[in-house]
């Protein structure tokens, strides 16, 4: 007994230190966060939504933290930068804006890693509050490219488009527009959101035109051919600095084809 009592003063500081480390780690893990921006690409759904993460629903009423407010197609929240959201396997709940009882859709097991940035895109249909909504959540790379380069990425969130499309991003000449898109190599080829995978391309670097005339994007069926539509990519900052753009292809308002004005996010100017 005396030996045990003598050992206690020596063991106690070590035990306290281990408990403190455990509490610290628990605190860090419970407070881990990701960074996210949320895009409403639900083209045929014209209702504003509030977006919750891991809310608690009791008797049809949700309580918890609202992370994105009053989002509607074609919109992104926040308008620039990111919002800190819980990391882990999240449940995303969308309620009619201003309501805590009218649920529009819910998606479970959306995986987000702590310390990582994401572009989250809601696409699909919401008929009568019980549609099939997919949450795309590609990771973002906001590392500045080499000066003089522009980095492009394409997310295909259009459920009414072809199963796979090619996107050609061509630098504009001093006058007129470039021709496209037979016999040329596409900048990216990406699958639609209903294909199961591949709805987001990788990042591709291109040289910025020294004339500062910007770029034109052309969308075709996979492999090229006559463009389905084209769109300008302008509003660059200093052409000598590296820039990043994310292009989000969406449906038109009736989900009968592409919207010819995609969402273009200025990730880095």
188-233 pLDDT tens trace? 999 999 876 679 999 999 988 666 678 999 999 999 999 999 999 9
The CA-based angle 42-48-52, given to 5 degrees, is 90
Confidence (pLDDT) at 2: 37
Q: Do residues 106 and 181 share a domain?
A: no
Q: Do residues 117 and 178 share a domain?
A: no
Q: Do residues 154 and 222 share a domain?
A: yes
Q: Do residues 164 and 262 share a domain?
A: yes
Q: Do residues 114 and 165 share a domain?
A: no
Indicate the pTM of the whole model.
Answer: 0.85
Cβ-in-10-Å burial (0-12, 13-18, 19+) of 1 comes to: exposed
Confidence tier at 128 by pLDDT (50, 70, 90): low
For residue 164, the Cα-to-chain-centroid distance in whole angstroms is 19
Q: Do residues 196 and 252 share a domain?
A: yes
Q: Which of 102, 136, 170 is the last residue of a domain?
A: 136
Contact yes or no for 98/88 (Cβ under 8 A): no
Q: Do residues 106 and 65 share a domain?
A: yes
Tokens of 121: 């895109």
Classify residue 196: in a domain, yes or no.
yes
Residue 151, classed as helix, strand or coil, is strand
Confidence tier at 14 by pLDDT (50, 70, 90): very low
Q: Indicate whether 103 pLDDT > 60.
A: yes
Confidence tier at 242 by pLDDT (50, 70, 90): confident
Confidence (pLDDT) at 12: 42
β 117-124/33-40 pair status:
parallel
Q: What is the CATH number of the domain that holds 90?
A: 2.60.40
Q: Which of 104, 136, 168 is the last residue of a domain?
A: 136
Q: Indicate whether 98 pLDDT > 90.
A: yes
Confidence (pLDDT) at 5: 38
Specify which of 1-15, 171-185, 222-236 reaches the highest per-range mean pLDDT: 222-236
Percent of the chain with pLDDT over 70: 82
Confidence (pLDDT) at 11: 46
Confidence (pLDDT) at 178: 76
Contact yes or no for 237/144 (Cβ under 8 A): no
Confidence (pLDDT) at 168: 95
Q: Do residues 154 and 251 share a domain?
A: yes
Average model confidence (pLDDT) across the chain: 86
Confidence (pLDDT) at 22: 42
Classify residue 28: in a domain, yes or no.
no
Q: Which residue has the higher pLDDT, 46 or 3?
A: 46
Q: What range defines the domain where residue 212 resides?
A: 149-268
- At which residue do the structure tokens 């009791």 appear? 58
Q: Do residues 260 and 175 share a domain?
A: yes
Q: Which of 105, 136, 167 is the last residue of a domain?
A: 136
Q: Read off φ and ψ for residue 237, nearest 5 degrees.
A: -80, -135
Q: Do residues 116 and 173 share a domain?
A: no
Q: Do residues 113 and 212 share a domain?
A: no
Q: Indicate whether 246 pLDDT > 70.
A: yes
Mean pLDDT of all residues in 3-26: 41
Q: Do residues 116 and 159 share a domain?
A: no
Confidence tier at 239 by pLDDT (50, 70, 90): low
Classify residue 6: in a domain, yes or no.
no
Contact yes or no for 170/134 (Cβ under 8 A): no
Mean pLDDT of all residues in 152-159: 96
Rg, C-alpha atoms of the chain: 24
Least confident of 8-22, 74-88, 90-104, 244-258: 8-22
Number of domains in the chain: 2
Classify residue 199: in a domain, yes or no.
yes
Classify residue 111: in a domain, yes or no.
yes
For residue 100, the Cα-to-chain-centroid distance in whole angstroms is 25
Classify residue 23: in a domain, yes or no.
no
Q: Indicate whether 113 pLDDT > 70.
A: yes
Q: Indicate whether 238 pLDDT > 80.
A: no
The CA-based angle 164-208-150, given to 5 degrees, is 55
Least confident of 33-37, 43-47, 127-131, 156-160: 127-131
């Amino acid at each position: 007994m005396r030996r045990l009592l003598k050992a206690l003063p020596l063991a106690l500081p070590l035990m306290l230190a281990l408990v403190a480390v455990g509490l610290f780690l628990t605190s860090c893990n419970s407070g881990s966060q990701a960074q996210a921006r949320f895009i409403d690409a639900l083209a045929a759904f014209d209702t504003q939504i509030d977006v919750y993460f891991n809310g608690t629903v009791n008797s049809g009423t949700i309580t918890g933290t609202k992370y994105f407010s009053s989002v509607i197609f074609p919109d992104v929240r926040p308008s620039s930068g990111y919002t800190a959201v819980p990391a882990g396997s999240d449940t995303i709940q969308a309620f009619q804006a201003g309501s805590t009882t009218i649920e529009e859709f819910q998606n479970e097991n959306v995986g987000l890693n702590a310390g990582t940035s994401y572009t989250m895109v809601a696409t699909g249909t919401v008929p009568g509050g019980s549609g099939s909504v997919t949450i795309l959540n590609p990771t973002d790379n906001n590392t500045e490219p080499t000066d003089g380069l522009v980095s492009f990425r394409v997310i295909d969130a259009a459920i009414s488009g072809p199963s796979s499309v090619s996107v050609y991003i061509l630098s504009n000449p001093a006058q007129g527009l470039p021709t496209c898109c037979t016999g040329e190599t596409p900048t990216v080829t990406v699958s639609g959101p209903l294909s199961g995978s591949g709805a987001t391309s990788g990042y591709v670097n291109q040289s910025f035109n020294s004339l500062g005339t910007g770029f034109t994007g052309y969308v075709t069926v996979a492999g090229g051919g006559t463009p389905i539509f084209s769109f300008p990519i302008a509003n660059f900052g200093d052409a000598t600095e590296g820039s990043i753009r994310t292009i989000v292809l969406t449906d038109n308002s009736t989900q009968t084809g592409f919207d010819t004005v995609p969402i273009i996010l200025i990730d880095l100017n």
